[in-house]
A and B are shown apart, each in its own frame.
Chain A
Amino acid sequence: MDILTWTYILVGLSFALYIGIAIWSRAGSTKEFYVAGGGVSPLANGMATAADWMSAASFISMAGLISFAGYDGSVYLMGWTGGYVLLALLLAPYLRKFGKFTVPDFVGDRYYSNKARVVAVICALFISFTYVAGQMRGVGIVFSRYLEVDINTGVIIGMCIVFFYAVLGGMKGITYTQVAQYCVLIFAFMVPAIFVSMQLTGNPFPQLGLGGTVEDGTYLLDKLDGVLTELGFTAYTSGQKPMIDMFAITLALMVGTAGLPHVIVRFFTVPRVKDARLSAGFALVFIAILYTTAPAVAAFGIYNAIDSVAEKPVDDLPKWVENWKQTELIKIDDKNGDGVVQYVADPEINELDIDKDIMVLANPEIAELPNWVVGLVAAGGMAAALSTAAGLLLVISTSVSRDLVKNFNPGISDKKELMIARGAAAVAVVVAGYFGVNPPGFVAQVVAFAFGLAAASFFPVIIMGIFSKRMNKEGAIAGMLTGLVFTLSYIVYFKFGTELFGVAPESLAAENWLFGISPEGIGSFGMLLNFIVSFAVSLFTPPPPAEVQEMVEEIRIPRGAGAAQDH
């Protein structure tokens, strides 16, 4: 069977599975819609969290990003896993004990202020919308490359699927589809990685293959370092980023991960505090399987690509190069007309341009794997994008129905609230789809926003809410606003300064960054500011009321968590 048939079969089967699960696990009450009834097992929640977290970017783009960044790519690996240590140790168990449905719920109650709640809702909506637009785009790209349909048709099909199970099933439907999606995506990521590792290094474990030897007996990484330096690039195992920026970006990604609302809410769905701790552990295991394999895929990919294309005759390239040239993900331009492809660091004479997404998408073809593996990768990419999109849509709909509507009209019935939640999810799907079809030119840039804002706003405010009894609403609001405004302005200035304010591009260059910290890493500085301002302000303003202090003591003790409450 050819690639296209296999892809249709595998993607079709996986979609049928998701829809089947959605019908089986419809939500009947707001509690089922918001937190899946609060009875999800830690193992299932761990898997669902992993799928929720690993987006189209993790699945499709991250390995390729590392291929070209080498050691500098470590910021993503450490940043997007280390955040789970913070989440497990500092946030998840206490938020579970608190026992409500959303992050703005916690902020509003702990800081006894609807103003704080509204600021939190705005942050949650902003973070989730920037993220979800990227996911819908990811679905469209996978559709167009593998199923040969138009990107926009792909986005619309993706919208319908997500609409179906997110709107119908709420958190309950999402949880069980995410478990299925995790299985699909991890299988799809690992199969080609294991094949390629066997071929290149003879080791079935890609994690070990990365440290293994290639055909001629030299270590893969040493060989890669040698080849890249010869072509004028930085050695694979050493980086270009200054240490302070590596530090800041890693920290911002870790803290941002721990502060992302769609990840945090997953820990409201387990029955006990103990389960929240354990399920963060399971989530990290499931994520680590992909995240320790990705650097191996990255190194194998760049090694294979250079090996099969560089210095080869232009009219006799492997078949996969021809296939992917049509999608413009590989561009070859024989500038000096010598009939041979030159791949070098100098852009003036370089003749080969490889898009980062190739490393995962074309991996099975590069390694000449059977056609069904290619179809599998398509289904995996789709699973990664759909599961994350669904989790984000839920945060959006909950923020509207619960944190805004219910909070300001406490009298509405459960049934009506559920209807509003479904309606909000439906509107959110359509808005996300719109951004998927008409992507704002800055989708890649806004990721820095999402993490930076989560790092500078949610993370400190939640941590202080748990670990400091003295922290009051004045401190928290001042801190949140300072962190937000500072981080937002820094990113906007350095990312869009030229377009928006007509700043000369030279004055936005790296040497003008504050302490050499890039916009991607500035969230860690924003977080620091948030902490400092909060503490300073809280010292000069009255302590929180006695019942709030009691609540803080209460959430620190595991016993008596019970199920998440309805009111």
Chain B
Amino acid sequence: MKRTRFAAIAMIAIMALTLGALSSCGGQPKMTDTVTVWCWDPNFNLYAMKEAVAVYQKANPGVKVEIVDMAQDIEAKIISGLQAGGAGLPDIALFQDFRIEQFLSDYPDAFVDLKAEGVDYSQFAPYKVGPMTVGGKVYGIPFDTGSTGLWLRTDYMKEAGIDPDAYLGKNLTWSEVIALGEKIKAKTGKPLLAYQSDNFDMLRIVVQSTGGQFFKDDGSLNLRSEAFKKSLALFKELNDKGLLYQVVGWSDWINAINSDTSAGFLNAIWMVGSVKSRPENAGKYMVLPTPLIEGVPGAANASNNGGSSWYVFLSSKNKARAVDLLKSVWATATPDNLEFYNKILKDAGAMGTFLPSQSSSNYKAGDDFFYKGQALSKDFASWMANVPVLKYTPNYVPMRDAVAHATLNYFQGKLATIDEAIAAAETEYKQVTGK
């Protein structure tokens, strides 16, 4: 007998039950002053929140904050809790920016309107505030940026007889990058970019840099755009020229980067932590602005990948405290708070999107870990200002999956042309969403 894995079926059953049972006992005030936070990634999000709590506890010594690492399945657990009318949910949770619109549309009465609580959103990067805004209400506290760049190994460039200094700080086009990649590959045998073949992120980075959108204004799919077609064609070219080192799975991708398999990768600032986790990488990497696709109007040498924000559940029994924690540390420009932002940037590569924090010292300082002490944070912050805004909509996840699947099949030759790939993605999206 196989281990009975009734996950879905049983959870639905249990939920049906708790729906009725627990809605009757909500709303009783709890006397202990403890705030619970759910997030993931101990070295990044958990770490940042811990530092924020330390600042908060200076002024509020009696408050306890319990930060829980939910790793995988955090969204699934939150959905179960929301279906059960808030049972078992924490006070605060971290959501990826691309996921939150789905939650705000499916569960319109689940989150606290923080604008009504007095948070000043003019102090945050506008592209972060967009996805958390519904009507006149704004629901989250923006956390980190996913400003992207092209990470290159200068040691392999030198090995291939290329002077990294000729590229340092330059805005490149993709055709220049491909030429560079071919030279490196010919001399060192290293493919230019480590690429997670089952993942959508790199394609998204390129499409967003062109200013392209996956959705139209009315929320319907928008894959037949020039921007998307050109991005897909670029990927196919990279793939066919052997410039992608392909791995399956996220941790395997990180592994690939830290085992000298490629001459670089395309991803966001939060990769600083993973790169720094390997001492041998010291002095080797430089980061260039995200390359540009030629001939697409509105394209920029900047893009974004990832980034999350904090939200307070309306079901929280300690709402006032939870709101206060987020507001008084994450959204108020006191010297202590700015130092907090400064510290998490240096230690974890977590670059906040709270604009006043961007004048702090670590935003300007050079970083000796990188080639010629590149002022990485300063560069990423300056690119962040040019990031074209991407619309997520509540259907981002099925779109992401459908496009990733079609792209893989296109790479492997199961879909012959870009138009076929687009049609396949549209069909899967339609069937999975039932629209």
Q: Do A and B come from one complex?
A: no
**Chain A residues near B (Cβ < 8 Å):** none
Chain B contacts to A: CB under 8 angstroms: none
